[in-house]
Structure 1
């Protein structure tokens, strides 16, 4: 099988993954839509239970009331979700797994087609980053119920893959001389993995901030069926705790690689500077999160600012700034 054929199969696998992720995104949306009537039914039952408690209290005070002899136990929250929505969530979970595996196949075939680690340009970085994000989310979903988060993961993945195909696509080719090093496998792979974890953390943070805003305003929404705001914030914080050391390693490994490739640990290259800026912003987030005088909401906004820096680093610096890291192929 020729290298051109392998590259073609890699693209077919990528397009198939995009189709599968489209199905997953729609099914996640159907599941969230199904939570709306479930929320209303749950609210009605809560009102009924409040009325029953008031009747019981009145009876205890000496007022003659009719109290039902048996009060039905509160059903599990998932039972309130329509069967169609639960079925959509199951399909969404399966197709998210399938999409991640198709991306893995695409990455492997792309690497085989060029006889190297497939992280030599923006296109390959975007595909592998999407693969890590989807598989990390799917593996995590095996331990926790994350159906509420699925739409906010598959949607961005589909957007990034669309950009990779339409804007950042680069034909499979050999690496530039400066990239022909084992540090490519170490440095860039860890950077991709850290970005994937930061992405999931940013999605959880955004959901937390929106839910917290609704809770403070007293307005009802579908977010009422999500985990409570403090739990969402702790989930995002735990993800950042994992991602930050990975990004720290990325920064250090990049400096070591720069010493080998360009005879200097630091060259004030735009990519180096923005990698450090991202590190500083997330360090500020972790510091603010541990500072008693700073609210969790403020710290969360700093975390989102860090993710905005990641987007700038990838989508702006790589394209519009010329430097020693100008390898995007655009």
Structure 2
């Protein structure tokens, strides 16, 4: 959260002269350094939790969200390094901070053994892929939301965002990676389901909304490469896909009744 506030300071200072621009740059570098430090500490906490439980550190809903938040931050650090979009950090890190706040304050669970249904090597493959896909789609969806803002020139924030085509390009590239990861997660989940329940697919709520998310992102990638749908139309589909992922992450895991569940929720 502190890193996000420092990046916000950079975002504000960047409107003024060279002297204040130097202050903004210093705040941005400090915010980035704190983000890296936070990611390292977060990684250490997950590793220690896994060692304490003698298992992978994503055996319940709290741990799952914690891992999603960590990978979202690591993914964003890579995007910042690759595409030089550090000033957008406040927009990306704030939702991640809220996600981690919710996980730590509402869903925290003490370390314990896995549920019998989760005691399989597939949890290190299928669930890890699902975590990766969720974190990447969070980044891609936020970037598409910023793309939509950047195409509204009358809005004050749009003048301080990178060009719309740059945001669109970064959102698309992260979306491609997320789509490939989600596809892998669905395929490995089907294999695990056949071993655990004797069928590959049963339209369980989790499976159903994973498929809905997959359709949304397939539509986004198709729209992004289709004339007349590029830009804002494709961005709206990407945002809808992020909403589907969040719905699957929270409503299906915490409210809907199905075979997919986490211990300690």
Length-normalised TM-score, structure 1: 0.77
> Which residue of structure 2 lines up, in the alignment, with residue 99 of structure 1?
38
SS of the residue aligned with 1:37? coil
Give the secondary structure class of the aligned counterpart of 1:207: helix
Within a 5 Å distance, the mapping from 1:39-50 to structure 2 comes to none
**Structure-1 residue corresponding to 2:73:** 134
Equivalent residues in 2 for 1:115-194 (5 A)?
115-194=54-133
| C-alpha distance in 1 between matches for 2:30 and 2:117 | 44
Note if 1:277 corresponds to 2:212.
yes
Return the match for 2:221 from 282, 286, 292.
286
1:184-205 Cα shifts (integer Å, max 9, x gaps): 0000111111111111111211
Query: Deviations along 1:225-246, whole A, 9 cap, x unmatched?
Result: 4321111111111111111010
The alpha carbon displacement at 1:103 in A equals 0.9
CA contact (8 A) 1:96 1:154 kept: no
Equivalent-residue separation in structure 1 for 2:254 and 2:157 (angstroms): 39
Tell me, which stretches of 5 or more residues in structure 1 are unaligned? Answer: 1-21, 39-78
Gaps spanning 5+ residues in structure 2: where? none
Q: How many residues align?
A: 265
Q: Against the structure 1 CA distance between its residues 139 and 285, is the aligned structure 2 distance closer, same or farther, given a 3 Å change threshold? A: closer
Q: Hey, what's the Cα distance between the residues in 2 that align with 1:220 and 1:280?
A: 32
Q: Deviations over 1:117-174 (max 9, x none)?
A: 0111110011111111111212332333221221022211110111011111111110
Q: 1:210 to 1:328 in 2, by over 3 A?
A: farther
Residues 149 and 157, structure 2, Cα contact 8 Å, conserved in 1: no
Matches within 5 A, 1:288-303: 288-303=223-238
1:33 matched to 2:33? The reply is no
Instruction: Using the TM superposition, give the Cα deviation of residue 223 of structure 1 relative to its aligned residue in structure 2, in angstroms.
Output: 3.4
- Rounded to whole Å, the distance in 2 between the matches of 1:96 and 1:154 is 9
Q: Secondary structure at the match of 2:125?
A: helix
Name the CA distance, whole Å, in 1 between partners of 2:237 and 2:263.
28
- The structure with the largest alpha-carbon Rg is 1
Query: Who is 1:250 aligned against?
Result: 185
Question: Is the 8 Å Cα contact of residues 152 and 158 (structure 2) preserved in structure 1?
Answer: no
Written as runs of structure 1 = structure 2, the 5 A alignment for 1:191-270 is 191-214=130-153, 219=154, 221-270=156-205
Equivalences for residues 32-71 of structure 1 within 5 A: 32-37=11-16
